[in-house]
A and B are shown apart, each in its own frame.
Chain A
Amino acid sequence: MHPFLQSLAGGVLIGLASAGLLLVNGRIAGISGLLSNAIMLRPGLWRWTFLGGLVAVGIGAGVLGAPVPTGLTEQAPLALAAAGLLVGFGTHLGNGCTSGHGVCGLSNLSLRSLVATAVFMVAAGVTVFISRHGGGIAGLGQ
């Protein structure tokens, strides 16, 4: 299958899963919010089972021999930790990430999510630009 079609099909599954969680459980499939409330031990077994479903897919992929992305394993542990801190803190402050704002929020025609999605897309794009092409400008490139 062409990679674009494969991504489209994956996206449709993500959208249907989000629709299902909304109509059956009455919840927004926003992963950072799910994580945040799960670790605070908010009542709701559904959060843990949803997260368990995500992890189960990863375990299954490993059992079936899916390659671990080198783009992950080649990153320095400290860099991963720093980026993870920013992702966790930022999604808490902004009430959402790619799934909650980018998929569910835009599907809900939310102005908040439209603004959030535009901001994190631009911020991520600028970050990649500086880290990959900004060597002569900011001295931060490789």
Chain B
Amino acid sequence: MRAFAALLFGGLFGLGLLISGMLDPDKVLGFLDIAGDWNPQLAFVMGGAIAAATPFFVIARRRERTLLGDPLVLPERLTLDWRLVAGAAIFGVGWGLSGLCPGPAVVLLGFAGPPAWIFGAAVIAGLVLGRLLLSGSGAARRG
């Protein structure tokens, strides 16, 4: 049941990425290129996603259990540290170089062939490298 629900939500998430334009590195880089011929289209993706999700997060914060009765624990929200800032900066450089972030990269694995596989394998290598080089401390993974 839980695995099936996650399959449906993964499909919905992927469909959203597909129709939103997030799978196209040219659009992503066009959005990030403020000094050039700026394409604001992808601002609507994040705007739409946050507008749709925020009410449900408000509900979730008031609940201790999921709809299926499992414990519901949200990530810690306030602690800032160097890992967060440095990690976000490193991720941003990779995103700005390729126009790809992890969600779209996973969807592209399904139809874009070797370039997507190379990128996906490198992301996994980077995640594993991070685990090897850093202790397992810190907040729960969220992204």
The residue in chain B whose Cβ has the minimal distance to the Cβ of A93 is B87
Interface of A is mostly: helix
- Which residues of A sit under 8 angstroms from B18, Cβ to Cβ? 10, 57-58, 61, 66
Contact A133 B36 (CB under 8 A): yes
> Residues 13-47 of chain B: 1 if any A CB is under 8 Å from the residue's CB, otherwise 0?
11111111111111111001111100011101111
Tell me the count of chain B residues lying within 8 A, CB to CB, of chain A: 123
Judge if A41 is at the interface, Cβ distance under 8 Å: no
- Which residues of A sit under 8 angstroms from B10, Cβ to Cβ? 17, 49-54, 56
Q: How far does the Cβ of B93 sit from chain A's closest Cβ, in whole Å?
A: 5
Chain A interface bracket (under 10, 10 to 19, 20 to 34, 35 or more): 35 or more
A87-B98, A124-B95 known; A73-B86 Cβ under 8 A: no
What is B's interface to A at a CB cutoff of 8 Å?
2-29, 32-36, 40-42, 44-57, 59-61, 63, 65-68, 70-80, 83-103, 105-116, 118-131, 134, 138-143
Closest 7 CB pairs of A and B: A88-B126, A96-B143, A58-B110, A94-B87, A53-B10, A10-B20, A100-B143
